[in-house]
Chain A
Amino acid sequence: MFIVDPFFWEVVISGLLAGVMYSLVALGFVLIFKASGIFNFAQGVLALFAALTLVGFQTGQVPFAHLVNTIFGTNIHHWGDGLHTLIAIGFTLVVMIGLAWVIVRVVLKNLVNQEGIILFMATIGLAYVLEGLGDVMWGADVKPLDVGLPSGPSDTVIDMTGMFVEKLEISAAVVAIILVVALTIFSQYTKMGRALRAVADDHQAALSVGIALETIWWIVWSVAGLVALVAGIMWGAKSGVQFSLSLIALKALPVLMLGGFTSIPGAIIGGLIIGVGEKVFEIYFGPLLGGATENWFAYMLAMVFLLFRPQGLFGEKIIERV
C-alpha cells in the first residue's frame, strides 16, 4: 500500500512545497482582482521584471546598455560591483512602486468603470510591453540570482526522515506564511483594506463616497509588485532569472480556479492541493499515460472542482438579483 511508503510522503511534501511556489504567484493575481476586479494577465511578467531589476541592481548592470551602446557607439555594461542584496531589494521595490504608478496613470486611469474584459485585455497588452521593456533594459541572458537564501537538500531532514527536501522551498513556505498573514491583516482589518474592497465592488460607488480610486489602484498594484518580487526571487533562485519566468503565471491559473479569485487563503490552499495532486498523479499514474501529466492535470483537477464549486473553494458566491 503506497500510503505507508515513506516515498509517498516525500512526494506529498515535495508537492506541498511546489504548491507554495505556485501560491506565491497566485497571490499577486488575487490581490489585484480582489481590490480592482481586474484579472491581471501581466502578473507573471511583473515577477520576471522585478527579478530582472533586482539582479540588475545586485550586479551593477547599466539599464538599457545595449540601446545606449548602439546609439552612442559606447561600450558600457556595468557601473560597478553592484549593490548589497538588501539595498538592491529596496531599490527594486521603489522601481515596482514607480511602475505601479505609471501603470495606473497611463493605462488604468483611462479605463475606469469599463467592462472587466477590457481591463483584462489591457493587462495582456501590459504583459507584452513589460516583457519587451525588461529585455531592452536588462538583456535576455540567464542571470543567476543569489539573495543568500539556503539551497540544496536539508541534511537535518535527510538525517531525521531520509527525505530530500529542498531548503529553498522551505524558505519559500516560511515567506508565504508571513505574506499571507500580513496581506490578510491588511485586507481585512485596515481602513485601506476596506477601501480596496469597496473599489472592487463598484468603481463608481467608491468614487461617489470619496475614495480616491487612482490612489487605491496605485497601492494595490504596488503591493502586487511586492508579491511579484517575492515570487521572482523564489523562482529566480531556483532556475536563474530568465524570460521563461513569465510563464509561471500558467502555474497560478489552476490554483486561482481552485482557490477562488478573491481569497488570499484560497490561493495558498489551492496551491497546495494543485501541488500535491499533480505530483502524486505524475508519479503514480503518469507512467501509465506516457508521463508529463503535470501541466494538464493541474487544470483538470481545477475543472473538476469547478463542477461542484464554480466560485472556487474560497471564492465569493456571486448572486445576481433582478
Chain B
Amino acid sequence: MKLSRIALAGIIAAGVATPAMADLVFPSLSYRTGPYAPNGIPFADGYADYFTLLNERDGGVEGAEIKLLECETGYNTAKGVECYESTKGEGSLVYQPLSTGITYQLIPKATADDIPVHSMGYGRTSAANGKVFSHIFNYPGTYWDAASIIIKYILSEEGGDIKGKKIALVYHNSAYGKEPIRTLEKLAEKHGYELMLLPVDHPGQEQKATWLQVRRDNPDYVLMWGWGVMNQVAIKEAASIRYPMDHFIGVWWSASENDTIPAGAGADGYKAITFHGVGSDFPIYEDLKKHVYDAGKAAGDGSNAGFVLYNRGMVAAMWAAEAARTAMKIHGTTDLTPAMMRDGMEALNVDDARLAELGLPGFTVPVKVSCANHGGPGLGAIQQWDAKAKTWSLITDFISADREIVDALIADDSAAYAKENNITPRECN
C-alpha cells in the first residue's frame, strides 16, 4: 500500500514537474506603455487575439495549445534585450521584436541560441539573405522593397519619368528611419530624381524646422519613415503648410489610424504602403467575434479590431502559426523546439488558397520562404486615407519591388556582414 502510494505520488509529482511539452510558446515583445504605446497596443492585441482564436476554436495548432508570453519593452532596445534573455529559456519558438533597434541586437544573440527572429517588414533589410542570416526572417517585405515600390508608384503617377523631380525623405533619426536611404540614393541614380534627407529626432513632437524646409524647397513628393508621435505631427504639419497630401507617402509603419485621425480633415488623401488588407471585412472576424470578443477573451477592449496595426499583429501571428504547422509536418511532432520552428519558417508557404482557408482571402500577399530568400515576395500596395469616413482603402494592386536594385544591395550588405562576422554563407536556394 505504502509503495503504491509512493509510486502514485511519484507519478503525480513527475506530471507536475514536467512542463506541458505540447505548449507552443510564442513570446510577444510588446509595448503597451510609453510614447510608442499607441502603436504597440493594437499590434500586440492583434497578435494575441489570433492565437486566442486558434486555442479557443481549434485547440491550438494541430492540437498543441499556444502559450503567449508577453514582455513589455517600451520600444526600448535595452529592455527588449532583457525581455529576450528572460523569456528564451521558456521554450520560446520565435521572437517578433517590433523594433529595428531590438532586432539588430538580437541578430547575433538569437542566431547563437538557435532561435528564429521574425522582423516582419522591419529590422535589418539584408537579413532577407537567408544564406547569411540563417535565423532571421523579414518576410513579406523589407524597407528596401518598400522604398522601391513607392518610387515605382510615383513613376506610374508621373507617366514613367521622374527625372529632375525632387523627392524628400522625412525620417525618424534612428536605425529604423535610416534604412531606406541607401536604396533611395541608388534609385535616384537610376531614375534621375533629387533626394532630400530630413531627419527628425525622437520623439518628433516638434518638427517645425523640417516642414519649413519642405515649404522652402517644395519637393514633388515627400516620403515618411516615421513611428509614434512623429507620424501624427508630420501629417499635421504637412497639412498646415498645405502640402498636397496625395503626394505624401508613408512607409507601412506610418500608415495607421492613430497617425491620421489626430490630424483631422487635414490628413485627407494621405497615402502609405501596406502589405496586408484594411478593415475587418474578412471571414476571420466572424470567428474572432464568436470565440474571442464575445467570449470576453480579447487582449484589449476590442476597439482596435480592423485597424491597420491590429491587422498587422494578426497577420504576424498567422504566419507564426503556419510556420509552426509546417515545422510539425517536417519533423513529425507537435512538440516543437526553436530549431524546428526555424525549419518551419524556412519552408513556409502560405498561398492564396491557404489564406482563404484561414478566413483571410486576399488579406495579404502569398508568401513562400526559402533557404536563400527570407524576405518573401517583396510586394506592397498603396492605401489612401479618407478623413471623412475615417477609413483606409487600397488604391493599387500589390506592386513588386525593383529587384534589380534591391537584390544587389542585399547581396552587398549581407556579404559585408558575413565578412565582418566570419560567417560562411550557406549553399542553398
Contact = CB atoms under 8 A, between A and B. Distances in A.
A283 B205 contact: no
B258 interface: yes
B262 A142 contact: yes
Contacts of B201: 292, 294-295
Interface in B359-410: none
Nearest to A11: B212
A292 B206 CA distance: 11
Contacts of B35: 242-244, 246-247
Given A77-B301, A140-B41, A239-B205, A164 B241 contact: yes
A298 B203 CA distance: 16
A152 B208 contact: no
Contact of A292 (B199, B239, B301): B199
Contacts of B262: 142, 144, 239-240
A283 B258 CA distance: 29
Interface string A15-38: 100100100000000000000000
Contacts of B213: 283
Interface string A41-75: 00000000000000000000000011001000101
A294 B209 contact: yes
Contact of B216 (A7, A140, A238): A7
Interface residues of A, number: 48
Interface in A143-169: 144, 146, 151-153, 164, 166
A279 B212 contact: yes
A320 to B, nearest CB: 38
Interface in A225-261: 235, 238-240, 242-248, 251
Interface string A118-147: 000000000000011001000011101010
B34 A243 contact: yes
B301 to A, nearest CB: 6
B173 A292 contact: yes
Given A142-B258, A291-B199, A152 B240 contact: yes
A10 interface: yes
Given A244-B203, A279-B212, A294-B209, A75 B296 contact: yes
B198 A140 contact: no
A243 B264 CA distance: 19
A144 B264 contact: yes
B299 to A, nearest CB: 11
Given A73-B296, A242-B35, A290-B199, A142 B205 contact: no
Contacts of A151: 240, 264
B232 A142 contact: yes
Interface residues of B, number: 40
A247 B232 contact: no
A140 B208 contact: no
A164 B41 contact: no
A243 B36 CA distance: 8
B328 interface: no
B208 A242 contact: no
B222 interface: no
A14 interface: yes
A10 B213 CA distance: 11
Given A66-B301, A140-B38, A239-B232, A152 B212 contact: no
A244 B205 contact: yes
B199 A244 contact: no
Given A14-B209, A245-B205, 20 more contacts: A10-B212, A11-B212, A14-B208, A18-B206, A69-B301, A140-B32, A140-B37, A142-B262, A151-B240, A164-B242, A238-B233, A239-B262, A240-B262, A242-B35, A242-B232, A251-B206, A278-B209, A283-B213, A283-B216, A294-B201
28 contacts: A10-B212, A18-B206, A140-B32, A140-B38, A141-B37, A142-B258, A142-B262, A146-B264, A151-B240, A152-B239, A153-B240, A153-B241, A153-B242, A164-B242, A166-B240, A238-B236, A239-B233, A240-B229, A240-B261, A246-B35, A247-B35, A247-B203, A251-B205, A283-B212, A291-B197, A292-B199, A294-B209, A295-B201
> Can you list the 5 inter-chain pairs with the closest CB atoms, starting with the nearest?
A240-B262, A244-B35, A140-B37, A282-B209, A292-B199
Interface of A: 7, 10-11, 14-15, 18, 21, 65-66, 69, 73, 75, 77, 131-132, 135, 140-142, 144, 146, 151-153, 164, 166, 235, 238-240, 242-248, 251, 278-279, 282-283, 286, 290-292, 294-295
Interface of B: 32-38, 41, 173, 197-201, 203, 205-206, 208-209, 212-213, 215-216, 228-229, 232-233, 236, 239-242, 258, 261-262, 264, 266, 296, 301, 303
